[in-house]
Amino acid sequence: MKMKYLFAVSLASLMMMSCSEDIMDRINEDKAHPAAAAVDAKYQITDAEVASAYSIVNGSYAWYVSSYTEQIFGTGNNQLKNVELRLIGETAAAATFNNEWNATYLNLFNLNQIIEKCGEGGVSEGQSDVLGMAQTLSALNWGVLTDLHGDIPFSECFSGISAPKIDKQEDIYNAIFDLLDDAIANFEEGEKNIGSQDILFGGDLDQWIGFAHALKARYLLHTMGRNSSVLNEVISEAEAALDAGFAGATLDVFNGVTADNSWSAYWWSREYNGSSTTVDNLLLERDDPRETIYNIDYWGEDVVGEPGDQKLAMATEVVNVPQWLDNGAAYLHLFSISELYFIIAEAKARLGQDASTEFQLAVEASMEDYSATGAVYTPAITAQEMTDYLDGIQPLFDADPLKEILIQKYIAQTRDEQIETYNDIRRCIYVDGSHPVTLTNPHNASSTGNRWPVRLPYGESDVQSNPNIAAAFGKGNDAGVYVFTENVWWAGGSR
C-alpha cells in the first residue's frame, strides 16, 4: 500500500508539473504577434512598397547624389555642405550611406521572405500576384544597390552565411532581368489576392506588368555601353509598358497632415537643400515655366546656389529652394511616366529614328509633375504655356535631338529622380564621352585628382563585419578612395 501511495503521489506530481509546463507554454505564446513564417505574405507588401519609395529611392541616396548631379545645392553647414565641397571624409566614408545600405538589405530580406512564402509549401503558396510584386520590387531594390555601389553581396545573402561573397554587377543584372521576367509571367496568371495591401496600384496587375516592363527598359538602357545592340529591346520593353497602360509608379499616401513625403520631411527638419544655378540656368535659357517652381525666394535673400560655393554651402536659411520641398503631400516617384517616354526618345534618337512624339510627351509629363507637386506659391502651369514652351524648344530638338532629350530628362528628374540622373551621367560618359549638362562644381577635381565620386562607398556595418567588403573597401589612406576611380561594370569598370 505504501508503495502504491508513493507511486500515486509521484504520478500526480509529474502530472502537475506537466500541466504547469503546458500552462506556462500557453501563457508565453504570443498570439497577438504570430511568427513571421505564419503571416500571409500580402501583409508584408505594403511595408516593402513604402520602404522602396520613402527610404531607398527618395532617401539619403537621392539627397547626396543630387549634389553630385548639381540638381540640388547642398547647404546648411552640415552633411550636404561637406558633399557640396566634395570632402573625402563625407563622400568616401563607410558611415555616410550605412543607414541606406542597411535599410535596402532589410527591405530585400522582407521581399525575400515574401517570395519564399509564395513558393512551394509556403503559407502564401499560389499567390502569383503577391509573388510578382515582390519580384518586381526586389529587382528595383537590387538595381538601386548595384547601380550605386557596384559589385555587392547578392547570391549568398539571406542564406545564413555570415560573410556573403561579393557578386559581379553583370551577374546581378542578369538576375534582375530574370526577376522581372518571372514577375511578368506571374502577373499574367491573373491571380488577385492582394486586396488593399497594394498601395502603389491598388491590385491593378496591368499596371504591375507595365512597371516590370518599364524597369526592364531602364536596366537594359544602363547596359548599352556593354551591348550597343540593346536599344531595340529597350524600345520594345518600354512600349510593352505603355501597351499595358502603365502611367508611372508613384507613392501617394502622404497628405501633409498625418505624414509627409521624405523630401519635405528632410528639408523641414534640416533645411539642407536649395536651388542650383546649373538647373536654373538651363530653365532660364529656355524661358521654361518650371523655373518659377524650381527657384523660389523662400528666405527673402533671393540667392541661387552656385555649385561648390563654400560660403553658401555653410549658410543657413539663405539659398532659394524648389517649391515642392514645402509640399509634404507631394507624391514620390519610383518610376515616372516621363522617364519612360525619355527612355524611348533616347533609344530612338541613338538609332536615328524620329523621337519627336515621345520627346514631347516626356516634357509634357514633366511639366504636369512640376505643376501638380510644386506650384505651392505660384500658379500652376497652363496647357497654353506647355504648348508655347514645346514650340520654343523645338529648334533645339531639331538641331540635336539626343542632346535636348538628355537635357530635358535632367530637368525633369530634378524633381525627385536624381539617382537615375546620376546613372545617366555615368552611363553617357562611358558610352559617348559626355553628358550634355556641364557640371561646374570646382571641387569635382583637386590637385590630387578626381573628386567627383563615380560610385558610392559600401556601408560601414559590412565594412566592419564582412571581410569580403572590408578588403574591397580598403584600409588606411586607401580606405574608400576607390569611389573616385573605379567605375561600376555598366560604366566601363570591373567592379
- Chain segment 263-298, per-residue pLDDT in tens: 999 999 999 999 999 999 999 999 999 999 999 999
Write down the pLDDT at residue 11: 44
Write down the pLDDT at residue 254: 80
Average pLDDT over residues 202-216: 98
For 260, 276, 283, 307, 457, the CA distances from 321, given in Å and listed in that order, are 18, 9, 15, 14, 28
Q: Would you place residue 195 in the very low, low, confident or very high pLDDT band (cuts 50, 70, 90)?
A: confident
Write down the pLDDT at residue 253: 79
Write down the pLDDT at residue 37: 78
Classified as helix, coil or strand, 267 is helix
Say which DSSP state 377 is in: S
- Chain segment 71-99, per-residue pLDDT in tens: 999 999 999 999 999 999 999 999 999 99
Q: Would you place residue 255 in the very low, low, confident or very high pLDDT band (cuts 50, 70, 90)?
A: confident
Residue 467 has pLDDT above 70, yes or no: yes
- Chain segment 12-69, per-residue pLDDT in tens: 444 444 445 555 555 555 666 667 778 999 999 999 999 999 999 999 999 999 999 9
Residue 251 has pLDDT above 70, yes or no: yes
Write down the pLDDT at residue 200: 96
396: exposed, middle or buried (Cβ count in 10 Å: 0-12, 13-18, 19+)? middle
Residue 483 has pLDDT above 80, yes or no: yes
Average pLDDT over residues 292-318: 98
Average pLDDT of the chain?
94
> Which residues, at least 6 apart from 489, have a Cβ–Cβ distance to it below 8 Å?
150, 151, 168, 169, 170, 173, 226, 495
The answer to whether the CB of 370 falls within 8 A of the CB of 290 is: yes
Q: Rounded to the nearest 10 degrees, what angle do helices 277-285 and 401-412 cross at? A: 130
Residue 320 has pLDDT above 60, yes or no: yes
For cell 502569383, name the residue: 128
Write down the pLDDT at residue 36: 72
**pTM for the predicted model, two decimal places:** 0.93
- Chain segment 350-384, per-residue pLDDT in tens: 999 999 999 999 999 999 999 999 999 999 999 99
Q: How far apart are CA 183 and CA 131, in angstroms?
A: 7
The dihedral region occupied by 78, where left means phi > 0, alpha psi between -120 and 50, and beta the remainder, is beta
